[in-house]
Amino acid sequence: MNLKELTAFIAAEFRKTYGRAPRWIAAAPGRVNIIGEHTDYNDGFVVPMAIEFYTIMAADQRADGKGIITFRSTSQPDAATVNLSQLLKPAAPKWGNYPRGGVAGFLARGVKLGGLDVLLHSTVPLGSGLSSSAALEVATATLLEAVTSKTIDPVEKALLAQKAEHDFAGVPCGIMDQFISALGREGHLLLLDCRTHKTKLVPMSDPSVALIIINTNVKHELSGGEYAERRAQCEEAARNLGVKSLRDMTADQLDKNKGKLSELVYRRARHVIGEIERTLHAAEGIRASSWPSVGNLMYASHTSLRDDYEVSCAELDIVVEIAEDIGYKDGIYGCRMTGGGFGGGCVALVKTDCVDAITKKIAADYKTKTGIEASIFVSRPAAGATILQN
Number of H helices, E strands in the chain: 11, 12
Residue 120 sits in the site that holds ligand ADP (CB under 6 A): yes
Look at the alpha carbons of 100, 29, 372, 295 in this order and tell me if their dihedral is positive or negative.
Answer: negative
Binding mask 86-115 for ligand ADP (x = CB under 6 A): --------xx--x-----------------
User: Under rule CB under 6 A, which residues in 59-88 are in contact with ligand ADP?
Assistant: 73, 75-76
Q: Closest CB to ligand ADP among 144 and 246?
A: 144
Residue 126 sits in the site that holds ligand ADP (CB under 6 A): yes
Residue 219 sits in the site that holds ligand ADP (CB under 6 A): no
Widest distance between CA atoms in the chain: 71
Residue 128 sits in the site that holds ligand ADP (CB under 6 A): yes
76 binds, among ligand ADP, Mg ion, none (CB under 5 to 8 A by kind): ligand ADP
- 177 is annotated as an active-site residue: yes
User: Under rule CB under 6 A, which residues in 40-59 are in contact with ligand ADP?
Assistant: 55
Catalytic annotation, pick one of 40, 43, 117, 177: 177
Q: Closest CB to Mg ion among 15 and 163?
A: 163
Beta-strand runs (E) in the chain = 24-35, 45-61, 68-73, 80-83, 116-122, 188-193, 199-203, 209-219, 332-338, 343-351, 375-379, 386-389
Q: Count CB atoms within 10 A of the CB of residue 46.
A: 28
Among 42, 131, 142, 296, indicate the residue that binds ligand ADP (CB under 6 A).
131
Binding mask 334-363 for ligand ADP (x = CB under 6 A): ------------------------------
Q: Closest CB to ligand ADP among 70 and 128?
A: 128
**CA atoms within 13 A of residue 222's CA, in its CB half-sphere:** 14
Residue 166 sits in the site that holds ligand ADP (CB under 6 A): no
DSSP string, 163-193: HHHHHTS-----SHHHHHHHH--TTEEEEEE
Give min distance, CB of 13 to ligand ADP, in A: 12
Residue 133 sits in the site that holds ligand ADP (CB under 6 A): yes
Give min distance, CB of 128 to ligand ADP, in A: 6
Q: For residues 386 and 378, give the distance between their C-alpha atoms in angstroms, rounded to a whole number.
A: 21
Q: Which residues bind Mg ion (CB under 5 A)?
A: 131, 133
Q: For residues 305 and 235, give the distance between their C-alpha atoms in angstroms, rounded to a whole number.
A: 18
95 binds, among ligand ADP, Mg ion, none (CB under 5 to 8 A by kind): ligand ADP
33 Rama class: left (phi>0) / alpha (psi -120 to 50) / beta: beta
3-state secondary structure of 281: helix
Residue 127 sits in the site that holds ligand ADP (CB under 6 A): yes
Q: For residues 226 and 337, give the distance between their C-alpha atoms in angstroms, rounded to a whole number.
A: 17
Query: Nearest-CA neighbor of 58 among 115, 17, 12, 11?
Result: 11
DSSP code at position 243 = S
Contact between residue 117 and residue 60 where contact means Cβ atoms under 8 Å apart = yes
381 binds, among ligand ADP, Mg ion, none (CB under 5 to 8 A by kind): none
Stretch that binds ligand ADP, among 17-25, 61-69, 125-133, 263-271 (CB under 6 A): 125-133
Residue 312 sits in the site that holds ligand ADP (CB under 6 A): no
Stretch that binds ligand ADP, among 121-129, 280-288, 305-313, 361-369 (CB under 6 A): 121-129
253 binds, among ligand ADP, Mg ion, none (CB under 5 to 8 A by kind): none
Residue 233 sits in the site that holds ligand ADP (CB under 6 A): no
Q: Closest CB to ligand ADP among 75 and 208?
A: 75
By beta carbon distance, the residue nearest Mg ion is 133
> What element of type H or E holds 304?
helix 291-307
Q: For residues 217 and 266, give the distance between their C-alpha atoms in angstroms, rounded to a whole number.
A: 31
Under rule CB under 6 A, how many of the chain's residues touch ligand ADP?
18
125: preceding bond cis by omega (within 30 degrees)? no
- Alpha-carbon dihedral of residues 88, 94, 95, 97, nearest 10 degrees? 20
Give min distance, CB of 133 to ligand ADP, in A: 3
The residues annotated with a catalytic role in the active site are: 177
Which residues of this protein are in contact with ligand ADP, per CB under 6 A?
A: 55, 73, 75-76, 94-95, 98, 120, 122, 126-133, 136
